[in-house]
Amino acid sequence: MRIQKVRYEHFGGIVATEDPVSLAWVDRDYLRARGFAGGAIWSGEDPGYLRAPLEMEIAIGSRCNLCCPCCYTTAKHDGRDVPETQVVRALQVAAEMEVFHVAFGGGEPLLHPGLLSLAREARARNLLPALTTNGTLVTEQWGRAAHGLFARVNVSVDVPGGPRDPHCSSDVAWRAVKILRQAGVACGVNFIMTSRTFDLLPQVFEGAAKAGADSVLLLRLKPAGRGSAVYDALRLSSAQQKALLATALGLSKRHHVPFHLDCALAPLLMTAGRSSKILHLLGATGCIAGQLLVTVDLDGMVQPCSHLDLRVGPVEDLPELWRRRPAWGGFGASQPALSVRCATCAVADLCRGGCAAVKNHHGLSLAASDPDIACQPK
Protein backbone atom coordinates (compact mmCIF):
# COMPACT_ATOMS: atom_id res chain seq x y z
CA MET A 1 0.00 0.00 0.00
CA ARG A 2 1.45 3.36 -1.07
CA ILE A 3 0.35 6.44 0.87
CA GLN A 4 -0.36 9.46 -1.32
CA LYS A 5 -0.81 11.95 1.54
CA VAL A 6 -2.35 12.55 4.93
CA ARG A 7 -4.69 15.48 5.49
CA TYR A 8 -5.40 16.51 9.04
CA GLU A 9 -9.00 17.12 10.08
CA HIS A 10 -10.51 18.04 13.44
CA PHE A 11 -11.52 14.41 14.11
CA GLY A 12 -8.07 13.12 13.14
CA GLY A 13 -7.37 12.94 9.44
CA ILE A 14 -7.84 11.31 6.06
CA VAL A 15 -5.18 8.96 4.72
CA ALA A 16 -5.07 8.69 0.94
CA THR A 17 -3.41 5.74 -0.73
CA GLU A 18 -2.59 5.33 -4.40
CA ASP A 19 -2.06 1.60 -4.71
CA PRO A 20 -4.88 0.77 -4.25
CA VAL A 21 -6.65 4.12 -4.55
CA SER A 22 -8.55 4.67 -1.32
CA LEU A 23 -9.42 7.23 1.35
CA ALA A 24 -9.44 6.16 5.00
CA TRP A 25 -10.96 8.37 7.71
CA VAL A 26 -8.98 7.78 10.91
CA ASP A 27 -9.05 9.22 14.42
CA ARG A 28 -6.33 11.11 16.27
CA ASP A 29 -5.10 8.07 18.19
CA TYR A 30 -4.46 6.18 14.97
CA LEU A 31 -2.36 9.03 13.60
CA ARG A 32 -0.50 9.69 16.87
CA ALA A 33 0.49 6.02 17.04
CA ARG A 34 2.15 6.46 13.65
CA GLY A 35 3.99 9.65 14.43
CA PHE A 36 1.51 12.17 12.99
CA ALA A 37 0.32 15.26 14.86
CA GLY A 38 -2.46 17.58 13.73
CA GLY A 39 -1.26 20.63 15.64
CA ALA A 40 -3.59 23.61 15.51
CA ILE A 41 -6.09 21.72 13.35
CA TRP A 42 -6.86 19.48 16.31
CA SER A 43 -7.47 22.46 18.60
CA GLY A 44 -10.68 24.39 19.16
CA GLU A 45 -14.20 23.43 18.21
CA ASP A 46 -15.22 21.14 15.38
CA PRO A 47 -16.19 23.41 12.44
CA GLY A 48 -18.73 20.86 11.25
CA TYR A 49 -17.24 20.44 7.78
CA LEU A 50 -14.05 19.16 6.20
CA ARG A 51 -11.10 21.49 5.63
CA ALA A 52 -11.46 20.93 1.88
CA PRO A 53 -13.34 18.75 -0.60
CA LEU A 54 -12.16 15.23 -1.26
CA GLU A 55 -12.52 15.65 -5.02
CA MET A 56 -12.70 18.45 -7.54
CA GLU A 57 -14.39 17.79 -10.88
CA ILE A 58 -13.07 20.11 -13.60
CA ALA A 59 -14.83 20.64 -16.93
CA ILE A 60 -12.13 20.90 -19.58
CA GLY A 61 -14.34 21.26 -22.63
CA SER A 62 -17.82 21.13 -24.13
CA ARG A 63 -16.91 19.19 -27.26
CA CYS A 64 -18.16 15.66 -27.81
CA ASN A 65 -18.17 13.38 -30.84
CA LEU A 66 -21.46 11.79 -29.73
CA CYS A 67 -24.87 13.20 -28.94
CA CYS A 68 -26.31 10.97 -26.23
CA PRO A 69 -29.88 11.91 -25.27
CA CYS A 70 -29.25 11.21 -21.57
CA CYS A 71 -26.16 13.45 -21.29
CA TYR A 72 -26.28 15.79 -18.29
CA THR A 73 -24.57 18.50 -20.37
CA THR A 74 -25.27 19.99 -23.78
CA ALA A 75 -21.87 19.01 -25.19
CA LYS A 76 -21.76 19.02 -28.95
CA HIS A 77 -19.42 18.57 -31.91
CA ASP A 78 -18.58 22.25 -32.17
CA GLY A 79 -18.11 22.95 -28.46
CA ARG A 80 -14.97 24.55 -27.02
CA ASP A 81 -11.87 23.53 -25.09
CA VAL A 82 -11.00 25.21 -21.81
CA PRO A 83 -7.52 26.81 -22.01
CA GLU A 84 -4.88 24.75 -20.23
CA THR A 85 -3.81 27.75 -18.15
CA GLN A 86 -7.32 28.00 -16.69
CA VAL A 87 -7.36 24.31 -15.78
CA VAL A 88 -3.90 24.55 -14.22
CA ARG A 89 -5.13 27.38 -11.99
CA ALA A 90 -7.86 25.10 -10.71
CA LEU A 91 -5.32 22.32 -10.14
CA GLN A 92 -3.13 24.70 -8.16
CA VAL A 93 -6.04 25.67 -5.91
CA ALA A 94 -6.90 22.00 -5.40
CA ALA A 95 -3.30 21.26 -4.42
CA GLU A 96 -3.12 24.17 -1.99
CA MET A 97 -6.31 22.99 -0.29
CA GLU A 98 -4.99 19.40 -0.13
CA VAL A 99 -7.74 17.96 -2.30
CA PHE A 100 -7.03 14.31 -3.06
CA HIS A 101 -8.57 13.59 -6.46
CA VAL A 102 -9.40 15.58 -9.58
CA ALA A 103 -11.70 14.36 -12.34
CA PHE A 104 -11.54 15.82 -15.83
CA GLY A 105 -14.90 16.06 -17.55
CA GLY A 106 -16.70 17.65 -20.42
CA GLY A 107 -17.70 16.94 -23.10
CA GLU A 108 -15.48 14.09 -24.13
CA PRO A 109 -12.17 14.68 -22.29
CA LEU A 110 -10.07 12.86 -24.88
CA LEU A 111 -10.91 15.54 -27.42
CA HIS A 112 -8.94 18.12 -25.42
CA PRO A 113 -5.48 18.39 -27.01
CA GLY A 114 -3.80 19.04 -23.66
CA LEU A 115 -5.40 16.21 -21.67
CA LEU A 116 -2.23 14.23 -21.03
CA SER A 117 -0.34 17.40 -20.16
CA LEU A 118 -3.05 18.32 -17.65
CA ALA A 119 -2.80 14.88 -16.07
CA ARG A 120 0.94 15.42 -15.64
CA GLU A 121 0.25 18.84 -14.09
CA ALA A 122 -2.07 17.15 -11.60
CA ARG A 123 0.49 14.49 -10.74
CA ALA A 124 3.16 17.15 -10.22
CA ARG A 125 0.89 18.65 -7.54
CA ASN A 126 0.27 15.32 -5.79
CA LEU A 127 -3.28 15.10 -7.13
CA LEU A 128 -4.64 11.85 -8.52
CA PRO A 129 -6.37 12.50 -11.88
CA ALA A 130 -9.26 10.49 -13.27
CA LEU A 131 -11.76 10.82 -16.09
CA THR A 132 -14.80 9.31 -17.72
CA THR A 133 -14.80 8.73 -21.49
CA ASN A 134 -17.22 7.38 -24.06
CA GLY A 135 -14.37 5.15 -25.24
CA THR A 136 -14.54 5.99 -28.93
CA LEU A 137 -11.11 7.66 -28.96
CA VAL A 138 -9.30 5.14 -26.77
CA THR A 139 -6.51 3.49 -28.73
CA GLU A 140 -3.67 1.20 -27.69
CA GLN A 141 -1.29 4.15 -27.99
CA TRP A 142 -3.48 6.31 -25.74
CA GLY A 143 -3.78 3.48 -23.23
CA ARG A 144 0.01 3.23 -22.97
CA ALA A 145 0.24 7.00 -22.50
CA ALA A 146 -2.45 6.95 -19.79
CA HIS A 147 -0.69 4.25 -17.79
CA GLY A 148 0.95 5.77 -14.72
CA LEU A 149 -0.83 9.10 -15.25
CA PHE A 150 -4.48 8.43 -14.53
CA ALA A 151 -5.44 6.81 -11.27
CA ARG A 152 -8.67 5.68 -12.91
CA VAL A 153 -10.48 5.84 -16.24
CA ASN A 154 -14.14 4.88 -16.40
CA VAL A 155 -15.84 4.11 -19.69
CA SER A 156 -19.50 4.91 -20.24
CA VAL A 157 -21.01 1.76 -21.66
CA ASP A 158 -24.29 0.91 -23.25
CA VAL A 159 -26.09 -2.12 -24.60
CA PRO A 160 -28.69 -2.31 -27.38
CA GLY A 161 -31.75 -0.36 -26.25
CA GLY A 162 -29.78 1.80 -23.82
CA PRO A 163 -29.46 5.57 -23.55
CA ARG A 164 -26.36 6.26 -25.62
CA ASP A 165 -26.05 7.81 -29.06
CA PRO A 166 -27.70 5.22 -31.35
CA HIS A 167 -25.10 5.93 -34.04
CA CYS A 168 -22.33 4.48 -31.83
CA SER A 169 -21.94 0.72 -31.48
CA SER A 170 -21.83 -0.60 -27.92
CA ASP A 171 -18.84 -2.74 -28.94
CA VAL A 172 -16.69 0.42 -29.08
CA ALA A 173 -16.95 1.02 -25.33
CA TRP A 174 -16.23 -2.61 -24.43
CA ARG A 175 -13.17 -2.54 -26.68
CA ALA A 176 -11.94 0.58 -24.88
CA VAL A 177 -12.23 -1.18 -21.53
CA LYS A 178 -10.14 -4.09 -22.80
CA ILE A 179 -7.47 -1.76 -24.17
CA LEU A 180 -7.19 0.15 -20.91
CA ARG A 181 -7.02 -2.97 -18.77
CA GLN A 182 -4.35 -4.48 -21.04
CA ALA A 183 -2.38 -1.24 -20.67
CA GLY A 184 -2.51 -1.58 -16.88
CA VAL A 185 -4.93 1.32 -16.34
CA ALA A 186 -7.49 0.90 -13.54
CA CYS A 187 -10.77 0.88 -15.43
CA GLY A 188 -14.42 0.48 -14.56
CA VAL A 189 -17.63 1.12 -16.46
CA ASN A 190 -20.43 3.64 -15.97
CA PHE A 191 -24.03 2.73 -16.74
CA ILE A 192 -27.06 5.05 -16.55
CA MET A 193 -30.12 3.47 -14.98
CA THR A 194 -33.45 4.27 -16.64
CA SER A 195 -36.79 2.53 -16.89
CA ARG A 196 -35.64 1.13 -20.25
CA THR A 197 -32.20 -0.04 -19.13
CA PHE A 198 -33.25 -1.88 -15.96
CA ASP A 199 -33.71 -5.18 -17.79
CA LEU A 200 -30.32 -4.75 -19.49
CA LEU A 201 -28.33 -4.96 -16.25
CA PRO A 202 -27.42 -8.66 -16.75
CA GLN A 203 -25.79 -7.78 -20.07
CA VAL A 204 -23.85 -4.92 -18.45
CA PHE A 205 -22.39 -7.06 -15.66
CA GLU A 206 -21.60 -9.89 -18.07
CA GLY A 207 -19.93 -7.45 -20.48
CA ALA A 208 -17.94 -5.86 -17.66
CA ALA A 209 -16.65 -9.26 -16.55
CA LYS A 210 -15.66 -10.29 -20.07
CA ALA A 211 -13.91 -6.97 -20.78
CA GLY A 212 -11.99 -7.08 -17.50
CA ALA A 213 -13.57 -4.00 -15.88
CA ASP A 214 -12.83 -3.81 -12.16
CA SER A 215 -16.25 -2.39 -11.23
CA VAL A 216 -19.60 -1.10 -12.45
CA LEU A 217 -20.76 2.38 -11.44
CA LEU A 218 -24.54 2.66 -11.63
CA LEU A 219 -25.81 6.19 -12.18
CA ARG A 220 -29.21 7.76 -11.97
CA LEU A 221 -30.47 9.65 -15.01
CA LYS A 222 -30.17 13.39 -14.24
CA PRO A 223 -32.69 16.03 -15.35
CA ALA A 224 -29.89 18.27 -16.58
CA GLY A 225 -28.52 19.16 -20.00
CA ARG A 226 -30.09 16.97 -22.68
CA GLY A 227 -31.23 14.64 -19.92
CA SER A 228 -33.87 17.18 -18.91
CA ALA A 229 -35.89 16.44 -22.04
CA VAL A 230 -36.09 12.69 -21.41
CA TYR A 231 -36.01 12.45 -17.62
CA ASP A 232 -39.75 12.29 -16.95
CA ALA A 233 -40.25 9.53 -19.51
CA LEU A 234 -37.23 7.45 -18.43
CA ARG A 235 -37.08 7.71 -14.63
CA LEU A 236 -37.14 4.42 -12.76
CA SER A 237 -40.52 3.11 -11.67
CA SER A 238 -41.31 2.33 -8.03
CA ALA A 239 -41.09 -1.40 -8.71
CA GLN A 240 -37.72 -1.03 -10.42
CA GLN A 241 -36.36 1.05 -7.55
CA LYS A 242 -37.34 -1.61 -5.03
CA ALA A 243 -35.86 -4.43 -7.14
CA LEU A 244 -32.63 -2.73 -8.21
CA LEU A 245 -30.48 -3.37 -5.15
CA ALA A 246 -31.22 -7.09 -4.96
CA THR A 247 -30.72 -7.40 -8.72
CA ALA A 248 -27.36 -5.63 -8.65
CA LEU A 249 -26.17 -7.62 -5.64
CA GLY A 250 -27.04 -10.88 -7.38
CA LEU A 251 -25.34 -9.94 -10.65
CA SER A 252 -22.27 -8.68 -8.82
CA LYS A 253 -21.92 -12.00 -7.01
CA ARG A 254 -22.53 -14.06 -10.14
CA HIS A 255 -19.97 -12.23 -12.28
CA HIS A 256 -17.51 -11.30 -9.50
CA VAL A 257 -17.69 -7.62 -10.43
CA PRO A 258 -18.21 -5.06 -7.63
CA PHE A 259 -20.62 -2.22 -8.16
CA HIS A 260 -20.94 1.32 -6.83
CA LEU A 261 -23.73 3.87 -6.76
CA ASP A 262 -23.65 7.57 -7.52
CA CYS A 263 -25.10 9.86 -4.87
CA ALA A 264 -28.26 10.47 -6.90
CA LEU A 265 -29.08 6.79 -7.40
CA ALA A 266 -28.24 5.62 -3.88
CA PRO A 267 -31.35 7.13 -2.25
CA LEU A 268 -33.58 5.18 -4.64
CA LEU A 269 -32.09 1.90 -3.39
CA MET A 270 -32.81 2.76 0.22
CA THR A 271 -36.43 1.79 -0.42
CA ALA A 272 -35.46 -1.88 -0.73
CA GLY A 273 -35.73 -2.68 2.98
CA ARG A 274 -32.02 -3.34 3.40
CA SER A 275 -30.37 -2.48 6.70
CA SER A 276 -28.33 0.68 7.04
CA LYS A 277 -25.30 -1.55 7.68
CA ILE A 278 -25.50 -2.97 4.16
CA LEU A 279 -25.99 0.49 2.71
CA HIS A 280 -22.91 1.72 4.57
CA LEU A 281 -20.86 -1.22 3.26
CA LEU A 282 -21.92 -0.33 -0.27
CA GLY A 283 -20.85 3.27 0.26
CA ALA A 284 -24.44 4.30 -0.40
CA THR A 285 -25.03 7.93 0.44
CA GLY A 286 -27.12 10.79 -0.81
CA CYS A 287 -26.03 14.19 -2.08
CA ILE A 288 -22.36 15.02 -1.36
CA ALA A 289 -22.31 18.31 -3.28
CA GLY A 290 -20.44 21.05 -1.47
CA GLN A 291 -19.50 18.65 1.31
CA LEU A 292 -17.16 16.07 -0.23
CA LEU A 293 -17.21 17.32 -3.81
CA VAL A 294 -17.00 20.56 -5.78
CA THR A 295 -17.07 21.13 -9.51
CA VAL A 296 -15.46 23.78 -11.71
CA ASP A 297 -17.36 24.75 -14.84
CA LEU A 298 -16.14 25.83 -18.28
CA ASP A 299 -15.68 29.41 -17.10
CA GLY A 300 -13.66 28.53 -14.01
CA MET A 301 -16.58 29.03 -11.62
CA VAL A 302 -17.13 26.75 -8.64
CA GLN A 303 -20.40 24.88 -8.27
CA PRO A 304 -21.44 22.38 -5.59
CA CYS A 305 -22.87 20.11 -8.28
CA SER A 306 -22.35 19.93 -12.03
CA HIS A 307 -26.05 19.17 -12.53
CA LEU A 308 -27.21 22.50 -11.11
CA ASP A 309 -26.72 26.05 -12.29
CA LEU A 310 -25.53 27.38 -8.93
CA ARG A 311 -22.27 29.31 -9.07
CA VAL A 312 -20.57 30.00 -5.74
CA GLY A 313 -17.63 32.03 -7.10
CA PRO A 314 -14.37 31.78 -9.07
CA VAL A 315 -12.13 28.83 -8.34
CA GLU A 316 -9.30 31.15 -7.26
CA ASP A 317 -11.49 32.17 -4.29
CA LEU A 318 -12.39 28.62 -3.30
CA PRO A 319 -10.27 28.52 -0.09
CA GLU A 320 -12.20 31.49 1.29
CA LEU A 321 -15.52 30.42 -0.22
CA TRP A 322 -15.18 27.00 1.41
CA ARG A 323 -15.16 28.65 4.85
CA ARG A 324 -18.21 30.79 4.04
CA ARG A 325 -20.73 27.98 4.31
CA PRO A 326 -23.86 30.15 3.85
CA ALA A 327 -22.59 30.96 0.35
CA TRP A 328 -23.36 27.36 -0.65
CA GLY A 329 -27.10 27.79 -0.21
CA GLY A 330 -27.57 24.82 2.11
CA PHE A 331 -25.19 22.48 0.28
CA GLY A 332 -22.40 20.92 2.27
CA ALA A 333 -24.15 20.72 5.63
CA SER A 334 -23.23 17.60 7.59
CA GLN A 335 -26.91 17.29 8.56
CA PRO A 336 -29.01 19.04 5.90
CA ALA A 337 -32.35 20.58 6.84
CA LEU A 338 -35.01 18.25 5.47
CA SER A 339 -38.78 18.05 5.29
CA VAL A 340 -40.94 16.55 8.03
CA ARG A 341 -41.48 13.52 5.79
CA CYS A 342 -37.77 12.75 5.77
CA ALA A 343 -37.23 13.53 9.45
CA THR A 344 -38.95 10.32 10.55
CA CYS A 345 -37.00 8.05 8.18
CA ALA A 346 -34.46 5.57 9.56
CA VAL A 347 -32.03 6.17 6.69
CA ALA A 348 -32.34 9.96 6.47
CA ASP A 349 -28.65 10.37 7.40
CA LEU A 350 -27.70 8.28 4.35
CA CYS A 351 -30.35 9.43 1.90
CA ARG A 352 -30.00 13.15 2.75
CA GLY A 353 -33.32 13.86 1.08
CA GLY A 354 -32.37 12.60 -2.36
CA CYS A 355 -31.02 14.38 -5.43
CA ALA A 356 -30.93 18.19 -5.50
CA ALA A 357 -31.02 18.25 -9.30
CA VAL A 358 -34.27 16.27 -9.31
CA LYS A 359 -35.79 18.59 -6.70
CA ASN A 360 -34.80 21.56 -8.84
CA HIS A 361 -36.35 19.89 -11.88
CA HIS A 362 -39.64 19.72 -10.01
CA GLY A 363 -39.35 23.29 -8.73
CA LEU A 364 -38.74 22.23 -5.12
CA SER A 365 -36.39 23.57 -2.47
CA LEU A 366 -33.27 21.78 -1.23
CA ALA A 367 -35.09 20.95 2.02
CA ALA A 368 -37.88 19.11 0.19
CA SER A 369 -38.00 15.36 -0.29
CA ASP A 370 -36.94 13.99 -3.66
CA PRO A 371 -40.41 13.34 -5.14
CA ASP A 372 -39.24 10.51 -7.39
CA ILE A 373 -38.07 8.23 -4.56
CA ALA A 374 -40.60 5.48 -3.95
CA CYS A 375 -40.31 5.54 -0.17
CA GLN A 376 -42.39 5.92 2.92
CA PRO A 377 -41.11 7.29 6.27
CA LYS A 378 -40.07 4.51 8.64
Domain boundaries along the sequence of the chain:
2-42, 55-334
So what CATH class is 55-334? alpha beta
Q: Is the pLDDT of residue 378 over 50?
A: no
- C-alpha separations of 377 from 168, 253, 348, 351, 369 in Å: 43, 30, 9, 12, 11
> What single letter denotes the amino acid at residue 345?
C
Asked if 137 and 106 count as a contact pair (C-beta separation under 8 A), the reply is: no
Asked if 189 and 176 count as a contact pair (C-beta separation under 8 A), the reply is: no
Confidence grade of residue 275 (pLDDT, cut at 50, 70, 90): low
Asked if 5 and 16 count as a contact pair (C-beta separation under 8 A), the reply is: yes
| Confidence at residue 278, expressed as pLDDT on a 0 to 100 scale | 74
Distance of alpha carbon 2 from alpha carbon 22, whole angstroms: 10
Q: Is the pLDDT of residue 295 over 90?
A: yes
Q: Higher pLDDT residue, 333 or 37?
A: 37
Q: Higher pLDDT residue, 257 or 327?
A: 257
Q: Is the pLDDT of residue 239 over 50?
A: yes
Q: Is the pLDDT of residue 336 over 80?
A: no
Helices (H), 197-328: 201-211, 227-234, 238-255, 266-269, 276-281, 318-323
| Confidence at residue 272, expressed as pLDDT on a 0 to 100 scale | 62
| Confidence at residue 377, expressed as pLDDT on a 0 to 100 scale | 47
Q: Is the pLDDT of residue 325 over 90?
A: no
Provide the 8-state DSSP code for 135.
S
Confidence grade of residue 260 (pLDDT, cut at 50, 70, 90): very high
Q: Is the pLDDT of residue 69 over 80?
A: yes
Q: Is the pLDDT of residue 274 over 70?
A: no
**Residue ranges of E strands in the chain:** 2-9, 12-19, 21-27, 55-59, 101-105, 128-133, 152-156, 187-193, 216-220, 259-261, 293-296, 301-303, 313-314
Distance of alpha carbon 102 from alpha carbon 294, whole angstroms: 10
Q: Which residues contact 239 (CB under 8 A, 6 or more apart)?
A: none
How many C-beta atoms surround the C-beta of residue 343 within 10 A?
12
